[in-house]
């Protein structure tokens, strides 16, 4: 049985499809902050444990053979909103979970890290970063991911096989949809306004990857020979894009759906910018992402219409907006108690 933490999330709910399609049994551990819509298609096909990753009980690991760890705060705005919780969830809880796995002889463990740890600012020399490149993460989110990586690597040995996937910015359709990721945001803006707004001249680089390819990478790393992946870090990305280039690809994908304009602002060069090499995972494991921007955007258009995900103002599609809303509601309920 596979334990999938954060299994109701944006990436987790897509991973579920691939795990179940392989005939594996799966236990999902999730706090369900964003609800359980991502699990709707799999009811009766999985075991769900509701809880906070910061205090996961060791009993959750009973009967588990391997772990895919996706739980935690997932972007810069959420991390900055509550840096303490971010560190507790992304670093401390990851280290604790890994130690528990090792104590229970659960060897295989993949970790959803982030390529944002490579960011050193817009004006730093533009160098293609690989897994051996120097990293000096600055933001709370990237720092927490990097600390978790180091904790996992310290535990790696013949009895524990952690694999770290530094994921590029993810795009694509998920049953737990998000519109706060750059490709998905462009699509949402195109549908609503017909305009893609590009800031800082669109000169920033980002490595990007479809959510389905992320899911396949995690499963591949679980199944690969231990000697190839134990204690290894792999960058995963479909391609590095400048943001202005990305806007043009999104517009191209939508040409049969809607007329879209691109508006470029050439001020405020303060954005993150970084490019990565994915040679290592391609050479070691033969992994090469397959889903292009155009394919993914077209699929999202179909799925949005099919599943009625067009209520774009709903805060549940935007992680930080939803987090703020829940935090404000929590404060009110502390004073009022149950509403009914």
The pLDDT value recorded for residue 125 is: 64
Q: How far apart are CA 275 and CA 277, in angstroms?
A: 7
The pLDDT value recorded for residue 332 is: 87
Angle among Cα 320, 321, 322 to the nearest 5 degrees reads 90
Tokens 């120097």 correspond to 134
Beta pairing class for 205-210 and 239-242: antiparallel
The pLDDT value recorded for residue 124 is: 63
Other C-beta atoms closer than 10 Å to the C-beta of 242 total 17
- Residue at 299 is within a domain: yes
* DSSP 8-state secondary structure symbol assigned to residue 116: G
Domain that holds residue 166: 2-323
Residue 12 belongs to a domain with what CATH number? 3.40.50.720
Read off the pTM.
Answer: 0.94
- Phi/psi of residue 205, each to 5°? -95, 145
- Residue at 329 is within a domain: no
- Residue at 71 is within a domain: yes
CA dihedral 150, 156, 116, 7 (to 10 degrees): -120
Tokens of 296: 């993914």
Enumerate the H helices of the chain as residue ranges. 12-21, 76-81, 83-87, 93-103, 140-155, 182-193, 211-223, 226-229, 243-253, 279-285, 293-307, 319-336
CA 166, chain centre distance (Å): 10
- Residue at 102 is within a domain: yes
Number of domains in the chain: 1
The pLDDT value recorded for residue 12 is: 97
Give the model confidence (pLDDT) of 170-219 as tens digits. 999 999 999 999 999 999 999 999 999 998 889 899 999 999 999 999 99
The pLDDT value recorded for residue 71 is: 96
Give the model confidence (pLDDT) of 121-172 as tens digits. 655 667 899 999 999 898 899 999 999 999 999 999 999 999 999 999 999 9
- Residue at 174 is within a domain: yes
- Residue at 332 is within a domain: no
Sign of CA dihedral 37, 40, 44, 46: negative
Which stretches of the chain score pLDDT less than 70?
A: 121-125, 268-271
The pLDDT value recorded for residue 293 is: 97
The pLDDT value recorded for residue 126 is: 76
């Amino acid at each position: 049985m596979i334990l999938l933490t954060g299994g109701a999330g944006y990436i987790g709910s897509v991973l579920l499809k691939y795990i179940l399609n392989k005939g594996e049994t799966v236990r999902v551990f999730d706090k369900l902050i964003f609800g359980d819509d991502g699990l709707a298609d799999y009811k009766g096909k999985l075991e769900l444990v509701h809880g906070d990753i910061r205090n996961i009980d060791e009993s959750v690991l009973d009967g588990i053979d391997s772990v895919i760890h996706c739980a935690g705060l997932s972007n810069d705005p959420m991390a900055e909103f509550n840096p303490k919780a971010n560190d507790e969830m992304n670093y401390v809880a990851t280290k604790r979970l890994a130690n528990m796995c090792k104590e229970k002889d659960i060897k295989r463990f993949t970790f959803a890290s982030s390529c944002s740890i490579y960011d050193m600012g817009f004006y730093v020399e533009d160098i293609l970063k690989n897994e051996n490149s120097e990293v000096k993460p600055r933001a709370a989110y990237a720092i927490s991911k990097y600390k978790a990586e180091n904790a996992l690597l310290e535990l790696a040995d013949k009895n524990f096989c952690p694999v770290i996937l530094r994921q590029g910015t993810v795009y694509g359709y998920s049953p737990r949809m998000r519109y706060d990721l750059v490709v998905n945001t462009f699509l949402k803006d195109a549908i609503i306004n017909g305009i893609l707004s590009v800031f800082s001249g669109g000169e920033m680089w980002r490595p990007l990857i479809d959510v389905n390819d992320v899911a396949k990478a995690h499963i591949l790393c679980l199944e690969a020979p231990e000697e190839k992946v134990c204690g290894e870090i792999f960058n995963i990305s479909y391609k590095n894009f400048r943001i202005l280039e990305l806007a043009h690809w999104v517009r191209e994908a939508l040409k049969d759906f809607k007329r879209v304009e691109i508006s470029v602002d050439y001020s405020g060069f303060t954005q993150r910018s970084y490019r990565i090499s994915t040679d290592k995972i391609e050479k070691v494991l033969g992994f090469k992402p397959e889903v292009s921007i155009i394919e993914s955007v077209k699929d999202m258009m179909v799925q949005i219409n099919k599943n009625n995900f067009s209520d774009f103002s709903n805060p549940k599609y935007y992680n930080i907006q939803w987090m703020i809303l829940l935090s404000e509601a929590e404060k009110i309920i502390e004073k009022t108690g149950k509403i009914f």
